[in-house]
Amino acid sequence: MSDSLSLWDRCLDDLRYQLKENEFTMWLRPLSANEYGDTLELLAPNQYFVSHVQQHHFTEIEKLAKHHSQGSIKQVVIQVESSVQSKPTHGVSSVVDSMQISSTSSPASATLKKQADTPISSDKALSYINPLYTFETFVTGKSNMLAYKACLELGKKQSQNRHNPLFLYGASGLGKTHLMHSVAHRYLKIGKTFYYFSSEKFINQLVYALRNQKIEQFKKKIKRVDLLIIDDVHVLAGKNKSSSEFLSLFADFMVEGKQVILASDRHPSQMTEFDERFRSRFSSGLAVSIDPPEMETRMQILQKKAHLSGVELPKECALFIAQNVVSNVRRLEGALNQVLATANLTGNPIDLDMVQYALKDVIAIRSQAVSMDNIRKVVAEYYDVSVKDLMSKKRTRSIARPRQIAMALARELTKDSFPDIGQSFGGRDHTTVMHACDKVAELRREDPVLDKEYKALAMTLQAG
């Protein structure tokens, strides 16, 4: 073993100046390091540390390790400390570049192998999937059940699902990527191949191929697989050459009957930055939304994620977190990570007092976000009216409806009474507020568009 601590300390010195103090102290300081041959091994307290560091810091860590070792370190792996038994022969592969997983790999192995036909732009393959993103670790509820079932059907060996393309849409952090990776895992198990791209990686590969006059080789390589997955496809908008080449590749997959899965932050019909060719082809299969999880699902997600990291999260703690973090799964996981890291660093048991302490900043931000002033401001901006109009006596529909929605949001998201809310909207009577809440509830049941608008506003306010 070489002077691995010295190498890791040099990496930490650089990282300390690149990151916020709390991020550095909470997630990187607890890691320890060993060096075996050309590998730097990082040891983490639990799987949540592994996942967080992989997602947020792995690229920079690997770059610094190679730099400070003057190239003697070829790879960095990170794993849970208790799982280490000897010198690592496998590890969590670097996510600096995307990687392709061969269909000949053993499904039971976590090793990510390079294929013989490496990508045009580097000596590494193109697709990478998160080993934790499987159907077994995905928590279902009303908000995501249809998307889950559609993806699960695609992963069956004898699938009869002919919805092609499958288009998943919804706000960031709701589980689209998790489901797409889950399908990729199933494809490996049934002996099929795939390419997974983030939109940024896809654009980078396309640009390289175009500049080096290798675009046909690039597309030919991709067309050999059974499944093509593109995440955040909306990012292609405005990049004319890249989007045109993608449309050509997309058409080839459709003609050959091969599956395509796309994900975006909105329905294909709302992707107005694309021309009609894109919107019509994206809509030709099945478009499924993923909405913010409801309370029960949020609690299930928290308890399942905690269990996977070897921690039992008390029900009252899960309830408290779920009540205060409502916008998306990623924020839920972030809050849980905060709790687990605090428990690890302080040595205190996870109880309600400790959770409240660990999330005091999150709670403070949410409290500020759902203040009456912010509700009026956010609703006014959304409906392109002024806050003054919401406070006024005007009864025109363009003003009255946003005012009613703002009142309903205030009732749902704050602890204010009907009289208090009425006073905050120009001194109105409490019966006016009650009528507004009833009216908005009725309209939400009857009008799916207004219901989505209401949910979007609520999510914006609660996300801080």
3-state secondary structure string across 321-344? HHHHCCCCHHHHHHHHHHHHHHHH
CATH of the domain at 388: 1.10.1750.10
Q: What is the pLDDT of residue 166?
A: 93
Written as tens digits, the pLDDT of the chain (464 aa) is 344 457 888 888 888 878 776 677 778 888 888 888 888 889 887 777 788 888 889 989 999 999 888 888 988 998 887 544 333 333 332 222 333 333 333 332 333 333 323 332 322 333 467 777 889 889 898 889 999 999 998 888 666 556 888 999 987 788 899 999 999 888 888 888 888 887 777 888 888 888 888 888 888 888 888 889 988 888 777 777 777 888 888 888 888 888 999 998 888 887 777 778 778 888 888 999 888 888 888 888 898 888 888 888 888 888 888 887 876 788 888 889 889 888 888 888 888 888 888 888 777 666 555 778 888 888 888 888 888 888 888 888 889 999 999 999 988 888 778 888 988 888 888 999 999 999 999 999 998 888 888 887 887 776 55
Say if CB 278 and CB 251 are below 8 A apart: no
Q: How far apart are CA 144 and CA 141, in angstroms?
A: 6
- 147 and 280 both lie in a single domain: yes
Angle at 434 (CA atoms; ends 432, 439), nearest 5 degrees: 95
- 250 and 194 both lie in a single domain: yes
- 318 and 278 both lie in a single domain: no
196 within a domain of the structure (yes/no): yes
**Sheet bearing 259-264, strands edge to edge:** 194-198, 227-231, 259-264, 166-169, 286-289
280 within a domain of the structure (yes/no): yes
Residue linked to tokens 């499924």? 288
Q: What is the pLDDT of residue 366?
A: 63
202 within a domain of the structure (yes/no): yes
Q: What is the pTM of this model?
A: 0.57
- 74 and 211 both lie in a single domain: no
- 155 and 189 both lie in a single domain: yes
Which has the closest alpha carbon to 265: 221, 234, 226? 234
* AA identity, residue 322: A
255 within a domain of the structure (yes/no): yes
CATH of the domain at 21: 3.30.300.180
Q: What is the pLDDT of residue 263?
A: 92
Domain that holds residue 60: 4-83
CATH of the domain at 175: 3.40.50.300
273 within a domain of the structure (yes/no): yes
Q: What is the pLDDT of residue 404?
A: 93
Four-residue CA torsion sign, 224, 228, 232, 233: positive
Residue 254 CB contacts under 8 Å (≥ 6 apart), including other chains: 164, 165, 260, 281, 284
Which residues are registered as beta bridge partners of 42? 33, 78
